[in-house]
């Protein structure tokens, strides 16, 4: 099996790492050599060796059963927990989508499955000209969309799906992740999304619940 996915969220803090980690574990449990990748990470801290590391990257690495150099798993690392293009500007770095593509291509030779986690939402800028959508187009991987289930999620989800379709990308499926424990009309919002998104809903995750992927092999 050779199959990879790009995990993208409707916004920041919607559970991309949680879902990406569960995806990695899903494929590891199925017997596949699997590794996680997060091309761009803000909010990093220096470890004992003085290397910037990100807790999301560490979470992906813990469940991966393939090891690779940090510069491949996470090519761009920034200390401030701010938008990646702004963090890059402050660090005097220009994020390049072709660097991310090359890192992914190397990882794909080392593993059967590469789970790539995005940063922020689909159209978050990565430099003065490009957004995460350009990275997704370069990688051209099937996308799994994490929908943060809270008030306003229907609009965010449908706009993101529309933008992906406009780029000619494939939405393999989506995950409904309840990030607001007090969300009213959860089931009704979920039904509205299921009615309007033609790609399959791969998992419904209630507040702090487990993720399972019955449709992915």
Kindly name the residue from 26, 32, 38, 150 that is annotated as catalytic.
Answer: 38
How would you list the strands of the sheet with 201-205, edge to edge?
Answer: 34-37, 113-121, 5-9, 143-149, 171-178, 201-205
CA distance 39 to 44: 13
DSSP state at residue 39: S
Active site residue 38: yes
CA distance 209 to 149: 13
HSE-CB at 120 with a 13 A cutoff on CA atoms is 19
Which active-site residues does the annotation give?
A: 38
């Amino acid at each position: 099996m050779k199959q990879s996915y790009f995990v993208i969220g409707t916004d920041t803090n919607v559970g991309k790492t949680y879902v990406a980690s569960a995806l990695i574990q899903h494929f590891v449990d199925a017997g596949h050599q699997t590794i996680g990748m997060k091309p761009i990470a803000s909010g990093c801290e220096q470890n004992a060796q003085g290397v910037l590391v990100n807790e999301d990257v560490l979470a992906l690495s813990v469940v991966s059963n393939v090891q690779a150099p940090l510069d491949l798993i996470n090519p761009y690392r920034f200390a401030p927990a701010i938008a990646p293009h702004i963090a890059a500007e402050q660090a005097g770095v220009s994020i390049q989508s072709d660097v991310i593509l090359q890192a992914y291509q190397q990882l794909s030779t080392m593993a059967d499955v590469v789970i790539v986690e995005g940063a922020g939402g689909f159209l978050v800028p990565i430099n003065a000209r490009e957004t995460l959508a350009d990275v997704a187009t370069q990688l051209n991987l099937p996308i799994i969309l994490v929908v943060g289930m809270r008030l306003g999620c229907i609009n965010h989800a449908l706009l993101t799906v529309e933008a992906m379709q406009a780029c000619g990308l494939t939405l393999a499926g989506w995950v409904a992740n309840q990030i607001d424990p007090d969300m009213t009309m959860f089931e009704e919002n979920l039904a509205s999304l299921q009615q309007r998104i033609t790609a399959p809903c791969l998992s419904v995750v209630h507040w702090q619940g487990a993720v399972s992927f019955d449709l992915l092999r």
